[in-house]
Amino acid sequence: MIISMSEQATEQEIDHVIQRIEECGFQAHVVRGTERTIIGAVGSGERRSELMALRAAPGVADIVPIAHPFKLVGRQIKQGQTIVNVRGVPIGGPDIVMIAGPCSVESRDQLLETARAVRAAGATMLRGGAYKPRTSPYDFQGLGLEALELLREAREETGLPIVTEVMSEADVDTVAEYADMLQVGARNMQNYALLRRIATTKHPVLLKRSPAATVKEWLLAAEYLLAGGNPNVVLCERGIKTFVTEMRNTLDLAAVALAKELSHLPVIVDPSHGTGRRSLIPAASRAAVAIGADGLIVEVHPCPERALSDGEQSLDFAGFAQLTASLSEPVRKLAVVTSEVAMSTT
Amino acid sequence: MIISMSEQATEQEIDHVIQRIEECGFQAHVVRGTERTIIGAVGSGERRSELMALRAAPGVADIVPIAHPFKLVGRQIKQGQTIVNVRGVPIGGPDIVMIAGPCSVESRDQLLETARAVRAAGATMLRGGAYKPRTSPYDFQGLGLEALELLREAREETGLPIVTEVMSEADVDTVAEYADMLQVGARNMQNYALLRRIATTKHPVLLKRSPAATVKEWLLAAEYLLAGGNPNVVLCERGIKTFVTEMRNTLDLAAVALAKELSHLPVIVDPSHGTGRRSLIPAASRAAVAIGADGLIVEVHPCPERALSDGEQSLDFAGFAQLTASLSEPVRKLAVVTSEVAMSTT
Amino acid sequence: MIISMSEQATEQEIDHVIQRIEECGFQAHVVRGTERTIIGAVGSGERRSELMALRAAPGVADIVPIAHPFKLVGRQIKQGQTIVNVRGVPIGGPDIVMIAGPCSVESRDQLLETARAVRAAGATMLRGGAYKPRTSPYDFQGLGLEALELLREAREETGLPIVTEVMSEADVDTVAEYADMLQVGARNMQNYALLRRIATTKHPVLLKRSPAATVKEWLLAAEYLLAGGNPNVVLCERGIKTFVTEMRNTLDLAAVALAKELSHLPVIVDPSHGTGRRSLIPAASRAAVAIGADGLIVEVHPCPERALSDGEQSLDFAGFAQLTASLSEPVRKLAVVTSEVAMSTT
Amino acid sequence: MIISMSEQATEQEIDHVIQRIEECGFQAHVVRGTERTIIGAVGSGERRSELMALRAAPGVADIVPIAHPFKLVGRQIKQGQTIVNVRGVPIGGPDIVMIAGPCSVESRDQLLETARAVRAAGATMLRGGAYKPRTSPYDFQGLGLEALELLREAREETGLPIVTEVMSEADVDTVAEYADMLQVGARNMQNYALLRRIATTKHPVLLKRSPAATVKEWLLAAEYLLAGGNPNVVLCERGIKTFVTEMRNTLDLAAVALAKELSHLPVIVDPSHGTGRRSLIPAASRAAVAIGADGLIVEVHPCPERALSDGEQSLDFAGFAQLTASLSEPVRKLAVVTSEVAMSTT
């Protein structure tokens, strides 16, 4: 940790900071610059957070933490890649996983029909909302337990493992009884009571990034799960909130590459929420795979224009089949006739 | 609701939309423009959200909702001002309420000392965290029940009603037993399970705005509480996440005026989190009052540089006393010598 | 254009709006809803912008423009794809263009060495800053005319067409004399005086997106160039400003797909500024190509750690060669053994 | 400057960084921590920016600049307050300045009528756009020279000094001939060619903050003006771009307090652009004054609903007179009956 003193800091103020650093069990290294003095606090231990409060000490201009904040999710503890196994489907291995299904489970027919269609098109897991976090209390809130029963039935028929969101600590055990993977929604990424509760199960978890979370905050939310005893965490980028109004969110694909650089956890991408526009989902999916995502989670509905939620960002069956087919098509080539082109212009 | 068709939309696509509107129990009004056709869906009813899915219908370019999304928090239902009474302290009335205290309850001495000091300086309520939402699982997480006991003791001694955050559905009853007002933290603004649980108590609630919430999303979170049966809601602006790096958050003071224009609920401001810089708290507090806030919630600590959390944005006792004193000082005058000045220059 | 009246709007206020719409040469279509009245203004003409001011008329709640704001850059005028020819190199055609070179031209050796290296690795155009927009007036501002001479020399030797930024209206003619393509920097995207001046040349233009521009604002900046008489415009996404601190900007790749959906202009991506981290450039480049970008512009320096600007986001020669090679590698496969995997788990 | 090495950095990499620091004329201070080594570069000189490129050196994790980036705008050079004199009207002194007038100059009647009205209501300066930066090339672009003539006439009649925007380097001399203060618009805050050109006049400058600028970037834009020889700079906060959609911009009032803490330059606030909603202007203006702004710039139009630009955020004459009157009204009182209230509840 680096404590940067203000230019006007007195010797007394500098001494006071040194004393506090040592009180907290760290060593102080003083570097006197031409404009100001900086003090490095070297060491480790639980009282590190107390040092942060020195921002409030007289003469202190700024504090810059140097050490990594992650213990369990970071690359410093594990160079390899974590593979999370969801009822036989590995996430984080050489193949990308394709999770598909409706935003909300609406009926038996809607779910089973979708499950069959996405499996036929190449999906390896089924998604479907039973408990829906909705901005308005007057919007459709999900079928709850009935939806969980239908999801189980869909799995029995198609063999696709299921992932569904759990919104309440009180529902964790019930959802875990039905689902193969528990989803923590974007709005709940920093719902620490829920994270702690889920950490006590060993169920695979899909942790969506909050639309307001930095990459560090996202990884620290995962750290809550690992620190609580559950190492089976898959991260999911689904877009962040920005000033851009033309898309529902701004899909932060570079954050996928960065998360994989900083952490050994698998990372998948949700192009449906990430763009909010059906027409952009295929291109965004291809880009997600190209940037290194371990999988995709895509909303699919038999008739998007009749969906009870997220119709505008759902693919129909034909659209989804085209998407999976397109993922194996080659991208455009880099012009390799460079020399010829260039020569002809000189 | 306005459905805007694309320029290429066919007659068949237009007819299809009209049919869906009528199926959902609304009337369709077609306006044919020079470039495109728009269709107004007139009516009301539960199937409004189904109409939103028409975004996914062929030929539809965009859908614009027209009706207000609020039922209970909006001005259309109540023109006057809601006053929330917290153990005798009214919030939303003619006087502004001043809530002060430490970020975290750390010890009996720290809390009681602070409670006495802020009361002496003019605070009317006491804040103090018992359960702390921390970005890292390795940071101080609060004293929990022990802190609740200390808060109760502080209230008994000083008479100040207390507000403290509740993070878990499982803790709602316990916290409500001790606290006069339940705080929903910014990270939990869209934790609907928690909101629904709190709505079943009639306890006053302090609902902090999520750093990623629009004003509409903030008011809809309050709508969950009112729709669930709890009308005693006070909104709290505490800064939003933006690209600005010099302050912890961007304090959105105009949103306070807008929230009060749209809603009858009281709105207070947290200049500590809103700026994250101790030096800016007094000025931000004055601005908050000037823009119409019904109160302030300010972090105060006996020795900010030793605080276990948020030291850099906490006032010490002298600083807090100066703040309350400054709130009644006049602001700078508008130059009234306009004519003279101007004359002399021509 | 849709004028949505407030719920309290009187008949007189509605009549007033109708009258103003007709005064401006449009037809008014009134739709009376259960909660409020909306009025569609149908027609076209120059006085459309006057209608926007009706937002200020009594009884008006909101105005929603329906028509596309673009005349020349939009798909409604041209379904095909514009190909911009830069001294023989086509941008927007079937092959992707690779533009590479140093952030700033620093010396003859640095530039020529880089030009040779990037050409050998497959680049088809050369970039290099002569006039540098720097946040601080005390940072290196570019070599100016001397750099333009060196760029010309590099083109003569390697045959690579050159693109360089022009910052001042006064420099447009000079830069156009040397460069094959004029770059409008992100900070100048809405410098309309510069855009108008550049439009009078017919030189190809690389228009970088402002870090604060929506897709619509970006396309409207291009509209200034086309409306001014210059159709040879290539758009460049280079990241937007968001709350995310781990990367210099947030690369908005989905905006590339959206810009290509809305417009016929070619779009390229700058992964160097878009991420600000050298380690992310290869993955971001692959994603850009996958999402449909027509090319890339990448910073390359013989020795990034000695670069006078942007060293941290520049590739060295080996890194650039790896990047171009990697662009033709296949991405990871979608798991196609769906059925087997799934079956074995049930 | 602090260079933080990665945990895996080798001794050779550390030595290399030390060597580069010394080559650039700085001293290296090495602090070896338990997890990583940090190196402080102490000294000053022109080659500081070269040190930033060490981010690209092997083994370097991060670089943290410690020194202030400002030379002339910062508090370290001048503790007092700069007062900019605009034809006899001081900005930055004890009284707040009120600048008012139409967004665009539309006609002689419109301008003169407005000038008289705002002067009568207490304005001390007149604003009015002659050259308008418009997002679309098809919107009204201003009357240009004709507007400058009308502004001069309005000043002659009312005695109010005038401020108007200059968008083009080519127009600087002409606008300076007519106007008492040159406005640099938000879109041009980082148009360095324009800043450098304006710096060569000694005319007072109103430098609007870019909607994407941090406080540091805003002050560095001002630094261009001061470094170029023009010390007469007034900063203007007018809202930043955020995810909030209900207001045109997010008015960053705390940035006003921060800018005044960091710099000696006067700061005024534009509540019209800052909120984009007429109803919020009075409250936002009061808050601006309360937070320490040295003045306000407000859009006023004889008939906002017929304005050629920005009608929705313009006050009419009565509204402006109410605003100036309200600025001297007392704000709501802090509840001073704390003890009594509190006592009665225990």
Q: Where are the domains of chain C?
A: 2-64, 84-344
How do the pLDDT tens digits run along chain D, 346 residues long? 888 888 889 999 999 999 999 998 888 888 887 778 888 888 777 777 788 888 888 899 888 777 778 889 998 888 889 999 999 999 999 999 999 999 999 999 999 999 999 999 999 999 999 999 988 888 888 999 999 999 999 999 999 999 999 999 999 999 999 999 999 999 999 999 999 999 999 999 999 999 999 999 999 999 999 999 999 999 999 999 999 999 999 999 999 999 999 999 999 999 999 999 999 999 999 999 999 999 999 999 999 988 888 888 999 999 999 999 988 776 666 654 343 433 333 3
d(CA A344, CA D268): 57
Amino acid A339: pLDDT: 40
How do the pLDDT tens digits run along chain B, 346 residues long? 888 888 889 999 999 999 999 998 888 888 887 778 888 888 777 777 788 888 888 899 888 777 778 889 998 888 889 999 999 999 999 999 999 999 999 999 999 999 999 999 999 999 999 999 988 888 888 999 999 999 999 999 999 999 999 999 999 999 999 999 999 999 999 999 999 999 999 999 999 999 999 999 999 999 999 999 999 999 999 999 999 999 999 999 999 999 999 999 999 999 999 999 999 999 999 999 999 999 999 999 999 988 888 888 999 999 999 999 988 776 666 654 344 433 333 3
d(CA C101, CA C105): 9
State yes or no: pLDDT of A119 exceeds 50.
yes
Q: Can you say whether residue D310 is alpha, beta or left, with left for phi > 0 and alpha for psi between -120 and 50 degrees?
A: left
Q: Where are any strands of DSSP class E within chain A? A: 2-5, 27-32, 37-42, 60-64, 84-86, 89-91, 97-101, 125-127, 162-165, 181-184, 205-208, 233-237, 267-269, 295-299
Query: Is there a contact between A291 and C275 if contact means CB atoms under 8 Å apart?
Result: no
CA distance D262 to chain A (A): 12
Top residue of D244, D273, D297 to mutate, by most chain B CBs within 10 Å, is D244
Whether the CB-CB separation of C305 and D53 falls below 8 Å is answered with yes
User: Which stretch of A220-234, A308-322, C276-290, D325-339 has the lowest confidence by average pLDDT?
Assistant: D325-339
Query: Is there a contact between A192 and B134 if contact means CB atoms under 8 Å apart?
Result: yes
CA distance C252 to chain B (A): 15
CA distance C173 to chain A (A): 22
Query: Is there a contact between D29 and A31 if contact means CB atoms under 8 Å apart?
Result: yes
Nearest 5°: phi and psi at C44? -150, 175
d(CA B82, CA B63): 34
Amino acid A338: pLDDT: 41
Whether the CB-CB separation of A41 and A14 falls below 8 Å is answered with no
SS3 C15: helix
Query: Is there a contact between C66 and B7 if contact means CB atoms under 8 Å apart?
Result: no
How many Cβ pairs within 8 Å bridge chains A and D?
Answer: 62
CA distance A287 to chain B (A): 23
Residues of D in contact with B330 (CB under 8 A): 330
3-state secondary structure chain D: CEEEECCCCCHHHHHHHHHHHHHCCCEEEEEECCCCEEEEEECCCCCHHHHHHHHHCCCEEEEECCCCCCCCCECCCCCCCCCEEECCEEECCCCEEEEEECCECCCHHHHHHHHHHHHHHCCCEEECECCCCCCCCCCCCCCCHHHHHHHHHHHHHHCCCEEEECCCHHHHHHHHHHCCEEEECHHHCCCHHHHHHHHCCCCCEEEECCCCCCHHHHHHHHHHHHHCCCCCEEEEECCECCCCCCCCCECCHHHHHHHHHHECCCEEECHHHHHCCHHHHHHHHHHHHHHCCCEEEEEECCCHHHCCCCHHHCECHHHHHHHHHHCCCCCCCECCCHHHHHHHHC
d(CA C276, CA C287): 16
Amino acid C345: pLDDT: 36
Query: Is there a contact between B66 and C36 if contact means CB atoms under 8 Å apart?
Result: yes
d(CA D296, CA C73): 38
State yes or no: pLDDT of C155 exceeds 80.
yes
The architecture in CATH of the region A2-64 reads 2-Layer Sandwich (3.30)
State yes or no: pLDDT of C341 exceeds 70.
no
Instruction: Enumerate chain A positions whose Cβ falls within 8 A of a Cβ in D.
Output: 2, 4, 7, 29, 31-36, 38, 40, 42-44, 64, 66-68, 76, 241-243, 245
Residues of A in contact with B246 (CB under 8 A): none
Residues of C in contact with D312 (CB under 8 A): 52-53, 55-56
Residue A109 to residues A106, A116, A159, B67, C110, Cα–Cα distance (Å): 8, 11, 17, 33, 66
Q: What is the largest CA-CA distance in chain D?
A: 76
Identity of residue C221: A
Whether the CB-CB separation of D281 and B261 falls below 8 Å is answered with no
pLDDT band at A345 (very low <50, low <70, confident <90, very high): very low
- CB-nearest partner of A278 from B56, B168, B217: B56
CA distance D306 to chain A (A): 27
Amino acid D346: pLDDT: 33
Whether the CB-CB separation of A96 and C335 falls below 8 Å is answered with yes
Whether the CB-CB separation of D39 and D51 falls below 8 Å is answered with no
Count CA atoms within 13 Å of residue B19 on its CB side: 9
Residues of A in contact with B220 (CB under 8 A): 135-137
Whether the CB-CB separation of D257 and D292 falls below 8 Å is answered with yes
d(CA C234, CA C86): 10
Query: Is there a contact between B135 and A55 if contact means CB atoms under 8 Å apart?
Result: no
Whether the CB-CB separation of A6 and A59 falls below 8 Å is answered with yes
CA distance A63 to chain C (A): 16
- CB-nearest partner of D42 from A29, A33, A68: A33
Question: Which helix (H) or strand (E) is B89 found in, with range?
Answer: strand B89-91
Q: Where are any strands of DSSP class E within A6-57? A: 27-32, 37-42
Of all residues in chain A, the one with the smallest CA distance to B196 is: A137
Query: Is there a contact between D31 and A31 if contact means CB atoms under 8 Å apart?
Result: yes
Nearest 5°: phi and psi at B255? -65, -25
Query: Is there a contact between A169 and B167 if contact means CB atoms under 8 Å apart?
Result: no
Top residue of D66, D135, D252 to mutate, by most chain A CBs within 10 Å, is D66
- CB-nearest partner of D95 from B242, B279, B334: B334
Query: Is there a contact between A288 and C287 if contact means CB atoms under 8 Å apart?
Result: yes
Query: Is there a contact between D342 and B247 if contact means CB atoms under 8 Å apart?
Result: no
Query: Is there a contact between A49 and B309 if contact means CB atoms under 8 Å apart?
Result: yes
d(CA C296, CA C283): 12
Neighbours of A149 (CB within 10 A): 15
Residues of D in contact with B94 (CB under 8 A): 332-333
pLDDT mean across residues, chain B: 91
Packing angle, helices C317-326 and C281-290, rounded to 10: 30
- CB-nearest partner of A341 from C88, C261, C277: C88
CA distance C7 to chain B (A): 8
> Alpha-carbon torsion B75, B77, B78, B84, what sign?
negative
Neighbours of B23 (CB within 10 A): 12
State yes or no: pLDDT of A40 exceeds 90.
no
- CB-nearest partner of A187 from B57, B190, B309: B190
Residues of C in contact with B63 (CB under 8 A): none
Of all residues in chain C, the one with the smallest CA distance to B63 is: C66
Whether the CB-CB separation of D3 and D39 falls below 8 Å is answered with yes
d(CA C248, CA C246): 7
CA distance D243 to chain C (A): 9
Residues of C in contact with D64 (CB under 8 A): none
Beta bridge partners of residue B263, listed in sequence order: B74
Strands A89-91 and A84-86: antiparallel
Whether the CB-CB separation of C234 and C262 falls below 8 Å is answered with no
CA distance A47 to chain D (A): 15
Query: Is there a contact between A335 and C245 if contact means CB atoms under 8 Å apart?
Result: no
Residue C198 to residues A1, C103, C234, D142, Cα–Cα distance (Å): 50, 22, 13, 20
- CB-nearest partner of A53 from B171, B211, B304: B304
Query: Is there a contact between D284 and B257 if contact means CB atoms under 8 Å apart?
Result: yes
Report the percentage of chain A scoring pLDDT > 90.
Answer: 70
Interface predicted TM-score (ipTM): 0.91
d(CA D145, CA B6): 41
Top residue of D17, D190, D196 to mutate, by most chain C CBs within 10 Å, is D190
Question: Which helix (H) or strand (E) is C274 found in, with range?
Answer: helix C271-275
SS3 B114: helix
Amino acid A343: pLDDT: 37
Top residue of C119, C160, C338 to mutate, by most chain A CBs within 10 Å, is C338
pLDDT mean across residues, chain C: 91
Nearest 5°: phi and psi at D275? -120, -35
Residues of D in contact with A66 (CB under 8 A): 4, 33, 35-36, 38, 62
CA distance C134 to chain D (A): 8
Identity of residue D72: L
DSSP label at residue C210? P
pLDDT one-digit tens code per residue, B168-220: 999 999 999 999 999 999 999 999 999 999 999 999 999 999 999 999 999 99
- CB-nearest partner of C2 from B2, B7, B243: B2
Query: Is there a contact between B32 and C43 if contact means CB atoms under 8 Å apart?
Result: no
Q: What is the dihedral of CA B13, B14, B17, B21, to 10 degrees?
A: -160
Question: Which helix (H) or strand (E) is A48 found in, with range?
Answer: helix A48-52
Per the structure block, which two tokens stand in for A123? 């999906």
- CB-nearest partner of D253 from B119, B161, B287: B287
The CATH class, in words, for C84-344 is: alpha beta
Query: Is there a contact between D338 and B124 if contact means CB atoms under 8 Å apart?
Result: yes
Per the structure block, which two tokens stand in for D299? 């859009």
Q: Computed over its alpha carbons, how large is the radius of gyration of chain D?
A: 24
d(CA B242, CA D294): 25
